[in-house]
């Protein structure tokens, strides 16, 4: 189901650093972000089913992949309310994760293991806080799957659509000497923007999460894949 999009040339040098998003890309969470957001919004008096709730939920959907505290700053204005909403969100999401509501997307673990076996360094990134990221990794038994995991706080706090987490992976791993030898994959427009702004040679959108092919392509995807399971073959073709 690979659909090449000629937004940029893909590299022929080895892509030995692969930066992958989690929820929607390697991890299926069944819409837990929206459920946790609704719980957080209720703490701030936003009633489910209200026009305000619908407006805010539309913004959450449009900004999937962005640092969650940034989303709450936009929605609730002042820092105190944003921090309160973010804490409520993380608690609600964590409870859902603890309840067994996350699972690996089909072929995701196998793709990561194949990439590692080929000598590539794989890094997992998220827009969630570290506590939530760690809870997801623990629920999946992925604590030792990759050598590095990053959340926005690990890369200066801005998160996506900024390129900071991709560039932090580049700097911390030392896996490649050129950003064009990075492959980025994610399911949201913000993942694509982050990859493009980092200078990554491959910016692959996947259709297992929040955004569709048109949205991913419009925000810079060099390729759109059915799932992350197709990524190892894409990288191999790009190097041939």
For residue 213, name the pLDDT band (cuts at 50, 70, 90): very high
DSSP track, the chain: --EE-TTSPPPSS---EEEEESBTTTEE-TTHHHHHHHHHHHHTT--TTSHHHHHHHHHHHHTTTB-HHHHHHHHH-SHHHHHHHHHHHHHHHHHHHHTT--EEPTTHHHHHHHHHHTT-EEEEE-SS-HHHHHHHHHHHT-TTTSSEEE-GGGGTS--BTSSHHHHHHHHHH---SSGGGEEEEESSHHHHHHHHHHT-SEEEEETTSS--HHHHHHTT-SEEESSGGGHHHHHHHHH-
For residue 12, name the pLDDT band (cuts at 50, 70, 90): low
Which one is predicted more confidently, 211 or 143? 143
The pLDDT value recorded for residue 220 is: 95
Give percent above pLDDT 70 in the chain: 94
Which one is predicted more confidently, 213 or 131? 213
Residue 185 β-bridge partners: 20, 204
Q: How far apart are the first and last CA of the chain?
A: 20
Nearest-5° Cα angle at 211, 230 to 156: 90
Q: Strand 27-28 vs strand 103-104: parallel, antiparallel, or unpaired?
A: antiparallel
Which one is predicted more confidently, 43 or 104? 104
The pLDDT value recorded for residue 7 is: 47
**Res 193 pLDDT > 80:** yes
**Whole-model pTM?**
0.83
- Mean pLDDT for 23-40 is 84
The pLDDT value recorded for residue 20 is: 98
Which tens digit of pLDDT belongs to each residue from 89-111? Answer: 888 888 888 777 889 999 999 99
- Mean pLDDT for 30-48 is 79
Residue 16 near residue 240, CB atoms below 8 Å = no
pLDDT mean across residues, the chain: 87
For residue 72, name the pLDDT band (cuts at 50, 70, 90): confident
CATH architecture of the domain 17-28+103-239 equals: 3-Layer(aba) Sandwich (3.40)
């Amino acid at each position: 189901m690979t659909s090449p999009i000629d937004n940029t040339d893909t590299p022929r040098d080895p892509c030995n650093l692969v930066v992958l998003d989690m929820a929607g890309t390697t991890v299926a969470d069944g819409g837990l972000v929206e459920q946790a957001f609704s719980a957080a919004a209720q703490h701030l008096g936003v009633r489910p089913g209200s026009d305000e709730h619908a407006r805010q939920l539309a913004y959450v959907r449009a900004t999937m992949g962005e640092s969650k505290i940034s989303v709450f700053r936009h929605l609730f204005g002042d820092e105190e309310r944003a921090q309160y909403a973010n804490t409520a969100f993380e608690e609600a999401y964590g409870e859902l994760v603890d309840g067994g509501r996350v699972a690996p997307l089909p072929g995701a673990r196998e793709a990561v293991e194949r990439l590692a076996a080929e000598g590539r360094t794989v890094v997992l990134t998220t827009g969630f806080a570290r506590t939530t990221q760690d809870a997801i990794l623990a629920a999946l038994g992925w604590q030792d799957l990759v050598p590095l995991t990053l959340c926005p706080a690990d890369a200066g706090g801005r998160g996506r659509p900024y390129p900071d987490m991709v560039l932090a992976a580049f700097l911390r791993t030392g896996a490649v000497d050129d950003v064009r030898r990075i492959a980025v994959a994610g399911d949201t427009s913000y993942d694509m923007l982050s990859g493009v702004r980092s200078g990554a040679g491959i910016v692959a959108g996947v259709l297992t999460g929040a955004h569709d092919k048109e949205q991913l392509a419009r925000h810079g995807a060099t390729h759109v894949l059915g799932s992350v399971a197709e990524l190892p073959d894409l990288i191999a073709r790009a190097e041939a």
